[in-house]
Structure 1
Amino acid sequence: MAEEKKHYMTLEGKKKLEEELEYLKTERRKEVVERIKIARSFGDLSENSEYDSAKEEQAFVEGRISQIEKMIRNAEIIEESEGDANVVSLGKTVKFVEIPDGEEEEYTIVGSAESDPFEGKISNDSPMAQSLLGHTIDDVVIVNTPGGEMEVKILEIR
């Protein structure tokens, strides 16, 4: 059997996944089963869009449960104190300035399970994080983005 991929996450990220899993198993499943029951009462299942929709939702919920269980089972917790404090690594927050426009940005590098760019959390698998990992304060780095390459200078790591 092939070794399953590690899912890097903070303790907080794992807790959020556990909460989502609990919700899906205890509440969402019941809601979907109830929708299926109601849709069945409409009669002929071959022409029943409510039934089809409820079954699709059930498949989605069960798939998400399976996905979360796998992620939790293969969780590798990122300890914030791990590694050199002056080197960009998983779990660290990096502040940098874009060259030459001077725009400052700040991101925390997390595992893909808890990435959320709108909250300033980027996946360690993302091109931006891959470009920043291993660098130190004052390093000038070429960062790959969907819009092309940009040059940044690392200002702070914490």
Structure 2
Amino acid sequence: MSTTETTWVPPSVLERMSEELETLSADPSPSPTVEERIRTLRDAIRNAETSEKPDDGLVEAGMLVTALFAGDEHPTSFLVGPRSLVEADPSIAVDVYSPTSPLGRAIDGAHVGDTVRYALPSGRSITLRILAAEPFRG
């Protein structure tokens, strides 16, 4: 049995993707570029997860995280999710970090109160403390 990994997206992004797919699919003679976009959208929609995450303090895709990075005076808030969300829904007004980015991988599964350390591609190490993790309702 084959398993396909789902990707969390807000309902507004799923709606936008569905609308774009409907518009593109109406073209009786799409260009190869449009055909590829249609395939990409179909795959994204098929694998989309839109459920709201539980408000349990667990960091995972779909959570708005507030963290204090070592050396910073003020906390930073960001959404854990696919970077394509920024393009797909301009109303998302926070930074988005992919779960597969160094930061995303480091904090995935962490809880509020945890201190996490991770390495940037440059090799520099960064430490942060998770102050809050709540479902994104954007």
TM-score of the two chains, using structure 2 as the length reference: 0.73
Instruction: Please say if 1:116 is aligned against 2:91.
Output: no
Corresponding residue for residue 154 of structure 1? 130
The counterpart of 1:91, out of the listed 62, 65, 86, is 62
Corresponding residue for residue 135 of structure 1? 110
> Which secondary structure state, in structure 1, belongs to the residue aligned with residue 111 of structure 2?
coil
Shift of 1:17: 1.2
The counterpart of 2:52, out of the listed 65, 70, 79, is 79
Could you tell me how far apart the structure 2 residues matched to 1:23 and 1:149 are?
A: 46
Could you tell me how far apart the structure 2 residues matched to 1:74 and 1:113 are?
A: 16
> Do the aligned residues in 2 keep the contact of 1:13 with 1:113 (CA within 8 Å)?
no
Could you tell me how far apart the structure 2 residues matched to 1:75 and 1:128 are?
A: 22
Q: Percent identity?
A: 23
> Do the aligned residues in 1 keep the contact of 2:69 with 2:127 (CA within 8 Å)?
yes
Gaps of 5+ in 1: 34-57
Could you tell me how far apart the structure 1 residues matched to 2:117 and 2:66 are?
A: 15
Q: Which amino acid aligns with 2:109?
A: G
> Do the aligned residues in 1 keep the contact of 2:79 with 2:94 (CA within 8 Å)?
no
Could you tell me how far apart the structure 2 residues matched to 1:123 and 1:16 are?
A: 20
Corresponding residue for residue 5 of structure 1? 5
Corresponding residue for residue 90 of structure 2? none
Corresponding residue for residue 33 of structure 2? 60
Could you tell me how far apart the structure 1 residues matched to 2:33 and 2:94 are?
A: 25
Bigger RCO (CA 8 Å, 6+ sep) = 2
Gaps of 5+ in 2: 88-92
Instruction: Please say if 1:15 is aligned against 2:19.
Output: no
Aligned residues: 128
TM-score of the two chains, using structure 1 as the length reference: 0.65
> Which secondary structure state, in structure 2, belongs to the residue aligned with residue 94 of structure 1?
strand
> Which secondary structure state, in structure 1, belongs to the residue aligned with residue 44 of structure 2?
helix
